[in-house]
Amino acid sequence: MMTTDPFDDDKLREECGVFGIFGYNDASALAALGLHALQHRGQEAAGIVAYDGEQFNAHRDLGHVGDIFSSGDVMTRLAGQSAIGHVRYSTTGETALRNVQPLFADLHYGGFALAHNGNLTNARHLRQDLVRNGSLFQSTMDTEVIIHLIAMSRGVTLIDRMIEAVRKIEGAYSLVAITDSSVVAVRDPLGVRPLVLGKLGDAYVVASETCALDIIGADFVRDVEAGEMIVLDSAGIHSMRPFPELKQRACIFEFIYFARPDSIMEGHSIYEARKRIGVELANETPIEADVVIPVPDSGVPAAIGYAAEARIPFELGIIRNHYVGRTFIEPGQQIRHLGVRLKHNANRGMIEGKRVILVDDSIVRGTTSIKIVEMVRAAGATEVHMRIAAPPTAHSCFYGIDTPETSELLASQMNVPEMAEHIGVDSLAFISMDGLYRAMGEEKRDNETPQFCDACFTGDYPTRLTDHSEPTNAPQLSLLAELA
């Protein structure tokens, strides 16, 4: 099956989502609901591991949460009062069943399963050392490196072993793990990847976003802090600090695009933050026009903020079909062109004869923007101006977001006027870096100690990129192909 929609190849891909719960009957049912709320973070695969007091039970598969966990038999087998779950979009390792999380291992201290959102920047070097010392890898994921580090540790307790392991890894991550007596969560020392803590009755919940708490009726307690390890067990909640304290640098693209708009992150409503970005964008890049139109769906809140500040009418001039999947039709050139209309269609009555401002969250390769502009002009727009609710994306992400190689990013190859000509708009403008930070409640970007991770815009990576800057002789794994 191949997609006929070129839009699918021109967005930064969500990373992954994690969920964990301890101390609640039918924990796996709540985990499945939580994963459903986090589906936007990964649509390739999902899995749950639960503990029923005697044994661990797991179910993992390729596909969407609603399909994988729709069977009553499956959910019955996932009995227990503790569970962790994961939704996946692959940033490291191919799409295959062996790479579906959570990963499970029998360690010296008993069963252990781990799920991971993010990316390790020294995984290749660690893997090389582990293989040299006898470790046998069964997947191509950096997540498995963490399990081997725990297994090789000489720590007295499993928590000691986990602490020793996470002190060796670099990059960005939120981890959830399950043992026969606890659920453990860890957030990386800079807090790049998100993680929140909730409470449901006497049970505690950890998840990538607050929308996963909302769906099960859990109360939001707080964000898991950068560099914090939380242990949930029968005695309650325990907080540990295994790392030296660092200034937090949460991923700013979570606020621009990745997180669900109904989530709360680091004290910010995602929806309100996106509206404020639109307000700043309108103040920085005014243009005379008749209508403001969002590129759905991620451009909607910023377009609302832009239109309100610019006092220009907001209209849904592009309608998105939410029921588009994949097609068995061989995607020849004509079918590819028609495939664009499967997902987006111009609302001609809101466009014809008007000067249009299109608001989108980002430009990656530019292919989406070209098709959108062509569609809007074909619907009768007299002028088309594009405003982007992020600075130019000119650098690859190494922290769990699937971005193209830098050479494929339009902003790394062209300046703004060249991009405008390439896309076919009358004008193009991006929010400034300081404007983005103002929308996040900061006076401006602190260039000495930035408040967020914004490496995809600035190239200012907050951690070492060991695997990308130091050569290694570690070969690619030559695993058997796996039929889905």
The whole-angstrom separation of Cα 114 and Cα 94 is 18
- Pairing verdict, β 229-233 and 236-240: antiparallel
For 255, other C-beta atoms within 10 Å of its C-beta total 26
- What pairs with residue 264 in β-bridges? 269
Locate tokens 């290749």: which residue? 124
Catalytic residue among 16, 211, 251, 397: 16
H or E stretch including 410? helix 410-413
80-101 per-residue burial string, b: 16 or more CB within 10 A, e: under 16: bbbbbbbbbbbbbbeebebbbb
- What pairs with residue 357 in β-bridges? 292, 385
Catalytic: 16? yes
Residue among 388, 175, 222 at smallest CA distance from 298? 388
Kindly give, in sequence order, each residue whose CB lies less than 8 Å from that of residue 374, ignoring residues fewer than 6 positions away: 424
Residue among 346, 380, 355, 374 at smallest CA distance from 287? 355
Alpha carbon separation from 261 to 116, 212, 268, 272 (Å, rounded) = 22, 12, 10, 8
The whole-angstrom separation of Cα 81 and Cα 50 is 8
**Percent helix, strand, coil in the chain (nearest 5)?**
30, 25, 45
Amino acid identity of residue 68, one-letter, is I
Strand order in the sheet with 203-207: 56-62, 45-51, 82-88, 16-22, 203-207, 196-200, 219-223
Is residue 247 within 8 Å of 449, Cβ to Cβ?
A: yes
The whole-angstrom separation of Cα 177 and Cα 112 is 7
Catalytically annotated residues: 16
